[in-house]
Amino acid sequence: MADNRGVVYLGSGKVEVQDISYPDLVLHEGPGVPKENAGRKCEHGVIIKNIVTNICGSDQHMVRGRTTAPEGLVLGHEITGEIVEVGRDVEFLKKGDIVSVPFNVACGRCKMCRRQDTHICQNVNPERPGGAYGYVDMGGWVGGQSEYVMVPYADFQLLKFPDKDLAMEKILDLTMLSDIFPTGYHGAVNAGVTSGSTVYVAGAGPVGLAAAHSAQLLGAAVVIVGDLKEERLKQARSFGCETINLQEHDDVGEQIEQILGVPEVDCGIDAVGFEAYGHGTNHEEAPAAVLNTMMDVVEAGGKFGVPGIYVTDDPGAKDQDAMHGSLKVRFGLGWSKAHSFATGQTPAMKYQRQLMNAILHGKADIANVVNATVISLDEAPQGYKDFDSGVAKKFVIDPHGMVRK
């Protein structure tokens, strides 16, 4: 049996590449695995040799100690690879297929999956709706920042690339289909972006950049990106976005007015989430800052999408309310302006195929948009440190040296 290695969370600020078990078609007892899920047989699954697997900002929340993630958790939910073993009950996939794995673990059988809400599947996590690989409170499914990983419900979940040679040629774009591209696109769709829209995107990390590019694909006239780091804003400008440096300006509406002539946008996207900071000289954590900004700058009757993560338990929060996900949001302002907004994890499968086609046919340039940067598995701990410092890069782990030249 082949060996396996993966990126393991060892407590706040600590990750390490360790030897881990080679996967089989069973979810074994382990860190974060609910008792009811331990021993779950997955003959409907496959074993994947990871070609590429990415570091996500969502992973950083755990690594910073801002969740209740258990030590020993194998990280990683952005997975693209080659099938090397097929379960008995898999009918439509075969060894050698190259596939994208949506980060949501979903059964394909429950009420939620049948209506395409795969982010809140009712059958893969006994503790709450929704499952994911290598993530806190998401069913204990082993993460994919590794050499090999098991993926259940393969026929339902996996997106097979139609041409293997073209897939390898476009692999740095296609790896974004597992999470951040659908997540950014979902934020833009929920915000109601359409032809001629003016859009404000809060956050120029990879998801924010993916959301900005998605807004462009949907026909937005102007996309304005706000962030605290100039390096990230430079990346946003590289593909045609307007930008606001939030360290230099605390009045977002005023800055929008300088760009558009009015202090409001048609719609907005919160790609920051609960680890938000105050604007201007206020560099303290302010977890409701982005939501309140959206209610201020999105026009009356407008929409905003919230792909940024908010959690129910944040042990690193500055106050007792925020520790339990209670934020001081100006809901009355949003109500008075008749806003609507959508939250929650992204049902990645809902968008994967159309975004794959956009990549394969040259309509989307997502790898360049997020500055995809290839590293080895052994370089992953340093990648986490660099990403945490705010560099304008999306780190793509190449566990088997299949991408690096």
User: Using one digit for the tens of pLDDT, what is the confidence trace for 243-287?
Assistant: 999 999 889 999 999 999 999 999 999 999 998 888 887 678 888
What percent of the chain has a predicted confidence (pLDDT) above 90? 90
Confidence of residue 1 (pLDDT cuts 50, 70, 90): very low
Let me know if domain 5-179+346-398 sits in CATH 3.30.930.10.
no
Does this model's pTM top 0.75? yes
Tens digits of residue pLDDT in 350-397:
999 999 999 999 999 999 999 999 999 999 999 999 999 989 999 999
**Alpha carbons 191 and 267: distance in angstroms, whole number:** 6
Give residue limits of the domains in the chain.
5-179+346-398, 180-342
Considering the domain 180-342 in this protein, what is its CATH number?
Answer: 3.40.50.720
- E strands along 146-212, which residues? 148-151, 159-160, 198-202
- E strands along 263-314, which residues? 265-270, 298-305
User: What pLDDT sits at residue 394?
Assistant: 97
**Alpha carbons 71 and 30: distance in angstroms, whole number:** 10
Residue that has been written with the tokens 């974060």 in this structure: 32
User: What pLDDT sits at residue 2?
Assistant: 54
User: What pLDDT sits at residue 335?
Assistant: 94
Confidence of residue 323 (pLDDT cuts 50, 70, 90): confident
The single-letter code of the amino acid at 166 is: L
User: What pLDDT sits at residue 283?
Assistant: 75
Report the half-sphere exposure of 107 (CA within 13 A, side-chain side): 16
User: What pLDDT sits at residue 313?
Assistant: 86
Please check whether residue 2 is in contact with residue 23, taking contact to mean a CB–CB distance below 8 angstroms. Answer: no
- E strands along 3-64, which residues? 5-9, 15-19, 26-27, 40-41, 46-54
| Angular region, 38: left φ>0, alpha ψ -120 to 50, beta rest | beta
**Alpha carbons 209 and 202: distance in angstroms, whole number:** 10
The single-letter code of the amino acid at 108 is: G
Tens digits of residue pLDDT in 114-160:
999 999 999 999 999 999 999 999 999 999 999 999 999 999 999 99
Q: Angle between the 252-260 and 289-297 helix axes, to the nearest 10 degrees?
A: 40
Contacts of 325 (CB under 8 A, 6+ apart): 274, 310, 311, 312, 313, 314
**For the chain, how long is the longest CA-to-CA vector?**
64
Residue that has been written with the tokens 């304008």 in this structure: 392
Tens digits of residue pLDDT in 143-202:
999 999 999 999 999 999 999 999 999 999 999 999 999 999 999 999 999 999 999 999
Region 55-61: mean pLDDT is 93
Which helix (H) or strand (E) segment holds residue 67: the answer is none
Region 30-45: mean pLDDT is 97
